Structure 1
Amino acid sequence: MQLDLNLLTALDALLEEESVAGAAARLHVTAPAMSRSLGRIRRTTGDQILVRTGRTMTPTPYAIAVREQVHELLHQVQGVLAPSRELDLATLERTFTLRWHDSLLSLSGPALLSAVRAQAPGVRLRFVAETATDTPGLRRGEVDLEANANPVSAPDIRAEKVGESPLVIAVREGHPLTRVKTVTAKRYAAAGHISVSRRGNLSNAIDDALAQLGLTRTVVATAPTEAAALDFVRGCDLVVCLPEATLRSAVAGSGLAVLPVPLDLPSAPIHLSWHQRYDTDQAHTWLRDLARAALTTRTPPQPNPEPADGTAT
């Protein structure tokens, strides 16, 4: 039997999208053409691959079992048919889509863009916002590189920890906590809090740490981004706990004060994530190197000095 590599490409798209229309759009072919490819795949494998369940299509057990193998086979074939060439950054024309946490984008995005423009003026970067739920953008090829605290957990996704940042407290200048000599856990818990959560979660590891001390706090609001949380903090007596790296670029001249966290909390990690299909892609490897450098470049933190009077509440 003669193998048609186009069927392997079609099968990969069908297994990723779990939709004939979605696979057709991904490969820039018509839906009827993709439907015919699915028919050929079914005849070749002797399996239905996708079966309709209501308005959606569900992969068969066989399809689920071979999904990762199909990914890897396609990746190997593409590597054989597209032999490695020396990367010419001066003539490289490519658009990369990056989904970065908003604070990392503010902190390191400008440095990355500057480096890209200096080395490869034909490359464009599309920074897109994080979503409220985890999406398979890396697997589908919709996102080339992610940077956040929580990497996608999947066997075909690469995740590299490139750094971490300790957690600190941000309050407005003049907040009661700025007038005490020591921010104790009890004083911290008694303050009004705002939490950062894409999903709107009202509790997190901070509440667990307080519970171990027999303390609870009141989270009066959640914000979807750290920038939004800091806007709330500037305007009222609320407390937000954020990575120090986030606040480094936000504090200067902003009416905010930075205080230590009176809890034993782990530092916030910084991860780069990408799909394994790009492991040997020279242009993607170059971009990862630049992103890693931008994310790990640090300037010394400048915490606010303690009050001289040592007033306690």
Structure 2
Amino acid sequence: MRFKGLDLNLLGAFDVLLETRSVSHAARQMNLSQPAMSAALMRLREFFDDELLVVQGKRMYPTAYAEALVPQVRECLRSVEAMLVTASRFDPATTHRTFRLVVSDYVVTAVIAPVLQQLSSIAPNIRIELTLPSDAAQADFREGRADIFVAPEQFVVAEHPSDLFFEERHVVVGWRENPVFEPVLDRKAFLAAGHVAVRIGGRRDFAFADRQLNQMGLERRIEIETPSFTTVPWLLAGTPRLALMQERLARRMVESFPLRWAQIPFAFAPMREMIQFHRSRASDEGLQWLLSKLREAASQAHRNDE
């Protein structure tokens, strides 16, 4: 298909070439031969009358004109994709859609996994791709390469719609034989204990719990840092360490690990977990269907934990 002399298939090649900055890598990603991708780059150069990618040493670098084109090309591709996914009625029983979610392992364990069990029967052909939050994953969401982004309120992407997914309380979790829980865990013992903390993404940002403690002027003694919420139980069992954990996750973890949990011995604000979709997908019937299923699962999990 051509539009004003441009083969529209070349826009997809442009996007991948600028992302990978490599003809061979772009060819593999698009399941094309390297000569075919080289030919696509040549045709793009001819159409735009610009080198677009310039070889320096063993790498390729985009020209200033190419970098200026990137957001326009990606917006065009998002619009085309939105048109295609809304072109016909969405039927979960027959669709082969792929949905991409940026979501923490905690939310997967507490909310997403149960709803995926249901979807295996009512939408047997859908594919779900889960990605942990990071700068790169957030960039994918901004660029429309991810459909749904779930994160605490302070991490939302401002330019896209966001709604409250659920509120979550935090609790203190430790080995069930830890004497610190007897008779009742108090503030002094909590702060004196060694702790396991979660750091998120490539920059190892503080998770909600530590951000909240910092705002309260409280500092705990961190003995272990881990990038994953679901690794925390392995680091508590058989030790005197403690951790702050989301209550939904704690309830599930004590079923499988020799752990116990208690209320935090001081006031601690709940976490507001938000859910977002890309603003270009507001009329995407399939995406809105999936969002409704996720919200139902979050609501059901809340009722079950009460």
- Aligned-residue RMSD, C-alpha: 3.6
> Segments of 4+ in structure 1 off by > 6 A?
139-142, 202-205, 211-214
Is residue 106 of structure 1 aligned with residue 100 of structure 2?
no
> Gaps (5+ residues) in structure 2?
none
Is residue 299 of structure 1 aligned with residue 303 of structure 2?
yes
The alpha-carbon deviation at position 292 of structure 1 amounts to 2.8
Kindly report which structure 2 residues correspond to 1:28-43, keeping only aligned pairs within 5 A, or say none: 28-43=31-46
The alpha-carbon deviation at position 194 of structure 1 amounts to 1.0
The alpha-carbon deviation at position 82 of structure 1 amounts to 6.8
AA matched with 2:230: A
Kindly report which structure 2 residues correspond to 1:68-217, keeping only aligned pairs within 5 A, or say none: 68-79=71-82, 84-126=87-129, 128=130, 130=132, 134-135=136-137, 136-138=139-141, 144-149=147-152, 153=157, 160-181=163-184, 183-184=186-187, 186-198=188-200, 201=204, 216-217=219-220
> Gaps (5+ residues) in structure 1?
303-313
Counterparts of 1:195 and 1:269, CA distance in 2: 19
Structure 2 residue aligned with 1:45: 48
Counterparts of 1:114 and 1:201, CA distance in 2: 31
The two structures have a TM-score, normalised by structure 1, of: 0.77
Counterparts of 1:174 and 1:225, CA distance in 2: 24
Residues 143 and 173 (structure 1 numbering): CA distance in 2 closer, same or farther, change over 3 Å? same
The alpha-carbon deviation at position 200 of structure 1 amounts to 9.1
Counterparts of 1:93 and 1:206, CA distance in 2: 38
Note if contact 1:50-1:57 (Cα within 8 Å) is conserved in structure 2.
yes
Structure 2 residue aligned with 1:311: none
Q: Which residue of 18, 22, 26 corresponds with 2:25?
A: 22
Question: Which has more helix, going by share of residues?
Answer: 2
The alpha-carbon deviation at position 162 of structure 1 amounts to 1.4
Kindly report which structure 2 residues correspond to 1:226-265, keeping only aligned pairs within 5 A, or say none: 226-252=229-255, 254-262=257-265, 265=268
Q: Which residue of 253, 262, 268 corresponds with 2:271?
A: 268
Counterparts of 1:269 and 1:232, CA distance in 2: 26
The two structures have a TM-score, normalised by structure 2, of: 0.78
Structure 1 residue aligned with 2:11: 8
Note if contact 2:163-2:276 (Cα within 8 Å) is conserved in structure 1.
yes
Identity %: 28
Describe the SS at the equivalent of 1:76: helix
